Amino acid sequence: MRNTLNILDVGLEPYDRILDLQHQLVRARRDGLVEDTLILVEHPPVITLGRRGDEKNILVTEQWLADHGVEVRRVERGGDVTYHGPGQLVGYPILDLRQHRQDVGWYMHSLEEVLIRTLSDFGIPSKRLPGNIGVWLDEHRKIAALGVRIEDWITYHGFALNVAPDPSHFELVVPCGLVGKEVTSMAAVSGSVVSMARVRERASRNFATVFGMKMRGIALADLPPVVKRGERTVASAQPDGTSCG
């Protein structure tokens, strides 16, 4: 029997709130209180720096960011600098890799496969680029980024697929610290409106297929009380996917 994957679609939510939710779910998953869960979300504008993040890759001043309502957060994922905002589908898988494969490379490759299949569903061919984690249209255009953290073989953070974000916001940063690379989106490539609801649905199904699981939609109210009390988790870390997302 295939394991169950909970799909938790929370809509547009602040970054801090969902980061706290991830911490709670990591603890609950480690303790066997919840099943594997995929959080799907859009964030208000926020720039995040991973553990290797260089603030020089933020190209505007703190005052400009404050004046335009763009938050900045340093977080525990791998990688450098990235931007999240409306029109970007962000996925945070909380998986126990002991139930799958205890292999960081396999996990990153599988996340890329989910996104490649999802883009293909919309007629957009994409690929991996050797030496650069993420999903690319070609050697210069990136359409999805990855950045993960793994603690006690429980995953969190995840992927960001550009559906129809404000393209000018990517000019605020050097995405993933990669100079000379362009960030693009599904809307820019297709030249038409792309339904975020359809992208969420296809991404969910492809995730379940790639990881060999059966989907079940849940709401925040379905989570156990230990997750909703605002408890946070700190756990010893396994080597994480040092990628940008």
* pLDDT, tens digit only, all 245 positions of the chain: 579 999 999 999 999 999 999 999 999 999 999 999 999 999 999 999 998 888 899 999 999 999 999 999 999 998 889 999 999 999 999 999 999 999 999 999 999 999 999 999 999 999 999 989 999 999 999 999 999 999 999 999 999 999 999 999 999 998 888 888 899 999 999 999 899 999 999 999 999 999 999 999 999 999 998 887 444 433 334 444 444 54
Classify residue 239: in a domain, yes or no.
no
Classify residue 144: in a domain, yes or no.
yes
**Is 244 designated active site?**
no
Tokens representing 131 are 């030496």
Tokens representing 128 are 């991996």
Q: How many structural domains are present in the chain? A: 1
Between strands 154-162 and 141-151, the pairing is antiparallel
pLDDT computed for residue 230 by the predictor: 45
Angle at CA of residue 102, ends 97 and 105, nearest 5°: 105
- Inter-residue contact 84 to 46 (CB < 8 Å): yes
Classify residue 236: in a domain, yes or no.
no
Give the number of other Cβ atoms within 10 Å of residue 61's Cβ: 9
Among residues 180, 177, 185, 184, the alpha carbon closest in space to that of 58 is found at 177
Classify residue 102: in a domain, yes or no.
yes
- Inter-residue contact 37 to 29 (CB < 8 Å): yes
pLDDT computed for residue 179 by the predictor: 84
pLDDT computed for residue 186 by the predictor: 98
CATH number at residue 33: 3.30.930.10
SS3 47: strand
C-alpha 138/C-alpha 16 separation (Å) is 33
Classify residue 244: in a domain, yes or no.
no
Residues present in the chain in total: 245
Catalytic residue (one of 47, 176, 183, 186): 176
pLDDT computed for residue 175 by the predictor: 82
Task: Look at the block and give the residue holding tokens 């979300």.
Answer: 41
Segments forming the whole domain that contains residue 204: 4-228
Q: Report phi then psi at 233, rounded to 5.
A: -125, 140
Classify residue 70: in a domain, yes or no.
yes
Classify residue 240: in a domain, yes or no.
no
SS3 122: coil
Residue 215, judged by CB atoms within 10 A of its CB (0-12, 13-18, 19+), counts as: middle
Report CA-CA distances (Å) from 178 to 139, 147, 183, 240. Answer: 12, 14, 10, 20
Classify residue 39: in a domain, yes or no.
yes
